[in-house]
Amino acid sequence: MAEAAPSQSVSMRKRRWLPYAIGLAVVLLGIFLYFWLRPIFAGKWVPSPIAFQIGNLTVRWYGLLIGLSIIPGWFLAEAAGKRAGLNPDALFNVLIMALPAGIIGARLGFVIQNLAYFTQHPGEIMALWTGGLSIHGGLVLGLGVVVAYALITKTNFFRITDVVMPSILLGQAIGRWGNFFNEELYGYPTDLPWKMYIAPEHRLPGFEQYSFFHPTFLYESILDLIGFAFLYWYRGRRETRPGDVLWLYLILYSIIRFIVEIFRIGQSVEGGLTLAQLVSIGLVVVALVGMWGTRRWDKAHGVYLNLPENDQRNAAGA
């Protein structure tokens, strides 16, 4: 059997060690966060929403974390894109178009959900730094832009989404910490050992007498990170087909959001379920139907996800 080229061997060694390096970084980060969060959750000191100030410029944690979440996601998507044969410039074009569209969609979705409030306070509609983004709204507009780009450039839509969706879930895991610094989107009152202290000025009406609540931002961040690891692993499997990662992302995040909503303070819309839970159920149905349809079509045509280990199978139509 012919030996792999030196460059290929180096690349394979890097890919082999990458999951272990990421895992070690996550463990170390978890240990740091544990000791850092303990006094905050106990109410010994309250986090500030402001990261730093330079003159009149105020940088808040919410926006800073959203911005920082793009960096690791981009590098992972770029590496996966190269393995999938996507032009890095094309992938970057998708980023610079879909990212602002996603943020606009996320804010628009939040404003629509709280239309009564923003009708009375229109000046706060653009106040992104105060928090308030709907991930579902961001997905709709962001993916819509990717669809348009794929149609215009005649690029396979699923090849793009299979590359970027794990990075999006990683970005969500990081971005959720912005809610922590803003002391928002927390859960119902609790006495659990990991209960989180919320300052009186941030407690919702009807809950002023309580001090400790479920840290739902942390629940979602951890579950998003687990989902990212699963998608990252699944994308490299031999049996993975185009579209699988997108559909699995929608299923995973919908399940995560449904679970987190159980603990989060929110208003039920129908059958005791919140709007986010109803949307999550709908997305699971859409994803299951989409996966069934795309896998049926791909199996009939012998198409596998375009990764190096699947190239020969695609060429042979296996």
Return d(Cα 250, Cα 256) in angstroms, integer: 10
Q: What is the pLDDT of residue 317?
A: 42
pLDDT in tens, 5-33: 444 444 445 556 666 776 777 788 778 88
Q: What is the pLDDT of residue 123?
A: 74
Q: What is the pLDDT of residue 307?
A: 46
Return d(Cα 47, Cα 198) in angstroms, integer: 10
Q: What is the pLDDT of residue 209?
A: 93
Q: What is the pLDDT of residue 16?
A: 61
Q: Are strands 196-197 and 57-60 parallel, antiparallel or unpaired?
A: unpaired
Burial of 235 (0-12, 13-18, 19+ CB in 10 A): buried
Spans of all domains in the chain: 46-231
Q: What is the pLDDT of residue 4?
A: 47
**pTM recorded for the entire structure:** 0.81
| Closest by Cα among 269, 249, 256 to 165 | 249
* Chain position carrying tokens 């199996």: 299
Return d(Cα 181, Cα 197) in angstroms, integer: 12
Q: What is the pLDDT of residue 130?
A: 65
H or E segment and range at residue 264? none
DSSP state, residue 189: B
Positions of the chain with pLDDT under 70:
1-19, 22, 128-131, 298-318
Between the alpha carbon of residue 13 and those of residues 6, 8, 9, 19, 82, the distances in Å are 11, 9, 6, 11, 16
pLDDT in tens, 149-187: 888 888 888 888 999 999 999 999 998 998 999 898 899
Give the type of residue at 96.
Answer: I
Q: What is the pLDDT of residue 192?
A: 92
Helix spans in 183-274 (H): 216-235, 244-263
Residue 245 CA to chain centroid, in angstroms? 13
Return d(Cα 274, Cα 286) in angstroms, integer: 19
